[in-house]
A and B are shown apart, each in its own frame.
Chain A
Amino acid sequence: MAELARRTVTVASASGLHARPAKLFVQEAVRLGVPVRIRAGERTVPANSMLGVLSLGAVQGTEVTLESDAAGAEEALDALAALLSRDLDAEEALDV
């Protein structure tokens, strides 16, 4: 088994980690296909579970930790951490 990889990141999206930013995060976790857990406070949930991620109640500025010991963990964590550290709400205005 690979070593446990970990990234701690602060949620950057203005609306926190729910609604659209949560969906984008979960979709990316599903797409990457690497089992990743996300922790906020006492609670740890699978990154590919929309309900799990919503249940964290993470707002802008909440510190969350991503963890995985699966193959490809480093790359997956980098991608997911990068997503969390961007303000996905601010980018929406440019989506059109």
Chain B
Amino acid sequence: MREDLLDPRAILLHESAADRTEAIRRCGQALVDVGAVAEPYVEAMLERERTISTYVGEGVAIPHGTAAAKEIVKHDAICVVRFPEGVDWDGERVTLCVGIAARNDGHVPLLAALADILLDPERARTLREATEVHQVIKELT
């Protein structure tokens, strides 16, 4: 796993959002803040979500931009944003978003690792309930 994908500053564990759109904007902003993407990427994330839900299961969604928005990705990165109170995600309840900015395949091993964690209910719970940045880094990297 490439450790430079996950900047500790992009791990936000005590966020709240009224709805899915607000949650995605929060994730997008986290990616903007670490310099991974330009502002318009946030709109591309919302556009992607309108075409297909990025919910993957176990209370986790993986918002990301459209293929067309790859050009405004400055470097591959992910963010981990936790919404302890949950966000309604088209009928599913999401408490953890893993936002993705990717120009190529650099983030795929990380996504696979994330999926692997989520397939184990115990580890999925640990990740969803993480309150410390180092816990998240330990689980994902």
The residue that A18 contacts in the complex, of B48, B57, B66, B108, with Cβ under 8 A, is B108
Q: Are A14 and B67 neighbours in the complex by a CB distance under 8 Å?
A: yes
Q: Could you say which interface size class chain B belongs to?
A: 20 to 34
Residue-wise interface mask of A (37-68) relative to B, using a CB-CB cutoff of 8 A (1 in contact, 0 not): 00000000000011111111111100000000
Residues on A lying within 8 angstroms of B by beta carbon are: 14-16, 18-20, 23-24, 49-60, 89, 92-93, 95
The answer for the CA separation of A19 and B102 in the assembled complex, in Å, is 11
Closest to A18 in B: B111
The residue that B56 contacts in the complex, of A50, A60, A95, with Cβ under 8 A, is A50
For the complex, is B52 an interface residue (Cβ under 8 Å from A)?
yes
With a cutoff of 8 Å between Cβ atoms, the chain B residues found around residue A95 in the complex are 51
What are 27 A-B pairs with beta-carbon distances under 8 A? A16-B105, A18-B108, A18-B112, A19-B100, A20-B48, A20-B51, A23-B52, A23-B53, A23-B54, A51-B58, A51-B115, A51-B118, A51-B119, A52-B115, A52-B119, A54-B111, A54-B112, A54-B114, A55-B116, A55-B119, A57-B108, A59-B105, A60-B105, A92-B51, A92-B66, A92-B67, A95-B51
